[in-house]
Amino acid sequence: MNKHHYVAIMAGGIGSRFWPMSRTDFPKQFLDILGTGKTLIQQTFDRYSKLVQKENIYVVTAQEYVSIVKKQLPDIPEENILAEPSRKNTAPCIAYIAFKLLKKDPKALMVAAPADNLILETDEFIKTAKKALSFVDHINALVTIGVKPTYPNTGYGYIQHDTTEAAPGVYKVKTFTEKPNVELAKTFMSSGDFLWNAGIFTWKVKNIIAALEKYEPELYELFAAEKDKFNTAGEKEVIENIYPQCTNISIDFAIMEKADNVYLLPASFGWSDLGTWNSAWENKDKDYFGNAVVGKNVMVVDANNCMVHVPDNKLVMLQGLKDYIIVDTKDVLLICKKDKEQEIKEYVAEVKRNKGDKYL
């Protein structure tokens, strides 16, 4: 493994579309959503430990989740868990780890990836990641991975690429489109040159910092002004001063949609961002009637295509429902039509308005 290769796992989100299992104090990246025996962040760490040395894997997360990360990832050095004092989206998160790595290793190459992706074909994914690292090692490029759409999903971003290869299996990016409506998503699928945006990025650390300086100079200056404090005892205080001043912006909007050196690797490795209960249903084994069940005491009668997630110690009798999400926790029961899953965020907001934070 190359000592200059690093991975930054971004694990600060709250996963509100997986409510009521995903809560503010224990969000989805720390849950075993599919009943596999491992949480999403544990699966992600295991995957990337096949790509880089374990001591070269970093986790960037919210301060309140640091103890959870330590418990779930005992193999990661404690100093590799970076605590964000507030949620400011992925651009400040990436700026933080990039400046830290640049000071440690000016030759660093980095993969930045979400903690909650589901990837079924690990070997194929590692092949793709190595290809991306090799490409950015030889060219000033910001690389993203695109996944071939299998249906017109309206919850994913889409990337359009050139049809001519810039290098074997690598294409220049033309456009980004965030969460299109279903008609546009169907058009994207039929065109053949649009892929789902997997949100997995690869670059030389010095090149992403240069892109920040060019396209987000205010964000760049916040971190650059304190670059000598990274990897010292003063880092924590510096970050606590920087973050309140950061714009809340994703790396996609901040850099990837503006830069002229963005490239894409099309890939297929059984990917899902596992962002919704419907995506969990799609990726879980199902019974003869299409029901995906997590829970040892679920009895199903005349029910079809449901996503069921309930405690092992609770007997659940399910009758007569079709295309529903049923999630039971110690204090919340959610029964929701699958085609309304994108509205779960709104339901969570309604709960907050009427019941406060108790159930969030």
Q: What is the pLDDT of residue 268?
A: 87
Cβ within 8 Å of residue 250, ≥6 positions away: 89, 90, 91
Asked whether residue 220 falls in the same domain as residue 253, the answer is: yes
Of 272, 305, 337, the last residue of a domain is: 272
Question: What is the model's pTM?
Answer: 0.92
What is d(CA 61, CA 191) in angstroms, rounded to the nearest whole number?
Answer: 38
Phi, psi at residue 39, to the nearest 5°? -75, 170
**Is residue 360 situated within a structural domain?**
no
Q: What is the pLDDT of residue 187?
A: 87
Residue 299's domain comprises 277-355
Asked whether residue 224 falls in the same domain as residue 332, the answer is: no
What is d(CA 107, CA 204) in angstroms, rounded to the nearest whole number?
Answer: 8
- 10-residue mean pLDDT series, the chain (360 residues): 95 88 92 90 96 97 96 95 95 97 97 93 95 95 91 84 90 87 85 87 98 97 96 95 95 93 92 86 92 94 95 94 96 94 89 93
- Report which secondary-structure segment, H or E, holds 328: strand 324-328
Number of domains in the chain: 2
Of 240, 272, 304, the last residue of a domain is: 272
Q: What is the pLDDT of residue 29?
A: 95
HSE-up (13 A, CA, CB side) for residue 229: 16
